[in-house]
Amino acid sequence: MHHPFQASRHKRALFVLCAAIVLAAFGFYAYKLSEKSANTINPIDSGFARSMLLHHAQAIQMSMMMRGAASPEIQALAQSIIMKQTREMGVMEGWLTAWNEPVMVDGPPMAWVENATNVRHLDDQLYQAQCKADGGAMAGVATPEQLEQLKNASGIEKEVLFLELMLAHHRAAIPMAWFANRNGETSLVKALASAMIRDQGMEIGWIQLKLQQLKKS
């Protein structure tokens, strides 16, 4: 995997900011052009957007720590995560704005899964049971101690820790996205959830192979 981003950090940061603003506007207007009104928002749709915003924010935070501190391959993965998930955050924030819904999570982040009704798919029922057992906490997120460890690590130790944390992060995101895809109502939400399942599934495969290589070296 080659590092596709050769611009300065300042230019990249500016691009990411502009992309987030543009895509928030896109998310807002795309939803406004859709068939549903803000009065009929499924709590699964809004809950998914809010929780995935929080989940993405940490993935970006961890990826930022790898800039200039890892192999070109891993820096490329980190930069891809930053760009892709920043775009997705812009879209989801635009939806929440269009729905007149709060952007920030208030209370247990996975309460929207706990409180869902008519959940029919077995995998979703098991995921809902796990969310209830965890008290609505979000799975797969790194602890403050792990983030501090990642920040202070260097070399192969830093690369391995980043990949292990991101692997857990992605593995937790996929069942959340499946739950929204199968139980939500808004076509835009279902489509984005499906894209996340595809993209993060591919990244999981790459991360697993890279971890095997690093642990053999």
Instruction: Classify residue 88: in a domain, yes or no.
Output: yes
Type of residue numbered 62: M
- Structural domain count of the chain: 1
The predicted-structure confidence for 183-197, as pLDDT tens digits, reads as follows 999 999 999 999 999
Number of CB atoms found within 10 A of residue 17's CB: 12
CATH number of the domain that residue 192 is part of: 1.20.1260.10
Quote the pTM value: 0.84
Residue 207 is assigned to a structural domain of this protein: yes
- Does 110 fall in a domain? no
Residues 18, 22, 26: CA angle, nearest 5 degrees: 165
Those residues with Cβ within 8 angstroms of residue 72's Cβ, 6 or more apart along the chain or in another chain? 1, 2, 3
The answer to the question of residue 196 being in a domain is yes
Which residue segment(s) compose the domain that 58 sits in?
Answer: 9-101+119-216
Would you state the structure tokens that stand for residue 183, as one six-digit string?
A: 């139980």
Q: Is residue 80 part of a domain?
A: yes
Q: Would you say residue 4 lies in a domain?
A: no
- Output the CA–CA distances (angstroms, integers) from residue 167 to 83, 85, 145, 205, in the order listed: 18, 15, 17, 9
Residue 114 lies in a domain: no
Please identify which residue in the block is written with the tokens 């460890």.
149
Query: Could you report the per-residue pLDDT of 115-132, keeping only the tens digit for each?
Result: 999 999 999 999 999 999
